């Protein structure tokens, strides 16, 4: 089964405004309307069986409502909902407890959109509380529209991993978007997972192949970053890499399902 490790969805009442704001910020238009139903239609068109669905809490007070909505998305068996947490919440322990109690297997964190650094005391406390309970999908590197001060650099991501070796980190965009030379120097071979989302057409195929080969295909998962790239683009990209049938099956779903014990 093909599983997308990185797909964003939005509630019906906010999706259009969210796309307007995010498209203006990134300069990229969505490939489809990213509601839950919109993602399911896109998955059907591209032959994708399941998807990790993601949201980002840009404010701490959004965490509980996102957890509630994502808990309801578990009713759709093709979705694997990851929760949203915020390091500046006054109730981190309660937030994490509600995520675990809801049966959500992971969380998504995005330093630039959420306004925290990788040495933020709130983040460090959050990761201490999470421990081995949840998988953490963490944005790495630049933004689609480049920014001057990049927070989750490969060096900082490596330091965070070494500070919390018990936390299962998936580092998005093959470790760090547009910082793949540093990824090769610092993160390849470390005990972290890399998601190959929004990399094809941005990173040369040969470099993608080299990173996956040297890191070990068993610790790489494929994602689309829907709605910013089609799932078909990513699947075609994986197909160009010359992976063995077993490696390709792992990257396209089996590795992730094993990690999440789905």
Q: pLDDT tens for residues 205-251?
A: 999 999 999 999 999 999 999 999 999 999 999 999 999 999 999 99
Domains of the chain: 3-260 (3.20.20.140)
What's residue 26's pLDDT? 85
| H helix intervals, 74-120 | 92-101, 111-114
CA distance 69 to 164: 29
Strands 135-138 and 106-109, bridge-based pairing: parallel
What's residue 110's pLDDT? 97
The more confidently predicted of residues 18 and 43 is: 43
Percentage with pLDDT > 90 across the chain: 92
CA distance 59 to 85: 9
Whether 183 and 249 have beta carbons less than 8 Å apart is answered as no
Helix 121-130 crosses helix 154-163 at what angle (to 10 degrees)?
50
CA distance 82 to 105: 6
- Taking CA atoms, 220 is separated from 73, 105, 194, 254, in Å, by 25, 18, 5, 10
Question: In the numeric block, which tokens belong to residue 231?
Answer: 């799932």
- Taking CA atoms, 37 is separated from 10, 44, 146, 233, in Å, by 10, 11, 31, 20
The more confidently predicted of residues 7 and 18 is: 7
Give the number of residues written for the chain.
Answer: 262
Report, as an integer, the average pLDDT of 157-179: 98
- Taking CA atoms, 178 is separated from 20, 70, 172, 205, in Å, by 24, 30, 11, 13
pLDDT tens digits for range 104-150: 999 999 999 999 999 999 999 999 999 999 999 999 999 988 888 88
Average pLDDT, the chain: 97
What's residue 262's pLDDT? 67
């Amino acid at each position: 089964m093909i599983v997308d490790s990185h797909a964003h969805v939005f509630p019906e009442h906010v999706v259009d405004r969210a796309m307007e704001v995010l498209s203006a910020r990134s300069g990229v238009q969505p490939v489809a309307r990213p509601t839950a139903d919109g993602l399911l239609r896109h998955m059907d068109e591209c032959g994708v069986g399941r998807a990790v669905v993601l949201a980002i809490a840009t404010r701490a007070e959004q965490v509980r409502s996102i957890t509630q909505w994502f808990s309801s998305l578990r009713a759709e068996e093709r979705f694997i909902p990851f929760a949203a947490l915020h390091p500046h919440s006054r109730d981190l322990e309660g937030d994490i407890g509600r995520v675990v109690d809801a049966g959500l297997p992971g969380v998504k964190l995005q330093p630039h959109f959420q306004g925290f650094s990788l040495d933020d005391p709130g983040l460090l406390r959050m990761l201490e509380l999470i421990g081995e309970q949840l998988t953490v999908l963490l944005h790495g590197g630049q933004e689609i529209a480049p920014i001057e001060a990049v927070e989750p650099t490969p060096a900082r991501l490596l330091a965070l991993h070494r500070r919390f070796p018990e936390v299962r980190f998936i580092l998005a965009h093959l470790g760090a978007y547009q910082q793949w030379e540093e990824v090769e120097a610092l993160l390849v071979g470390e005990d972290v997972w890399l998601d190959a989302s929004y990399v094809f057409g941005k990173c040369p195929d040969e470099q993608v192949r080299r990173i996956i080969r040297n890191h070990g295909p068993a610790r790489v998962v494929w994602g689309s970053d829907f709605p910013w790239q089609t799932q078909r683009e990513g699947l075609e990209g994986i197909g160009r890499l010359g992976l063995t049938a077993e490696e390709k099956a792992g990257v396209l779903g089996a590795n992730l399902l094993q990690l999440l014990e789905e």
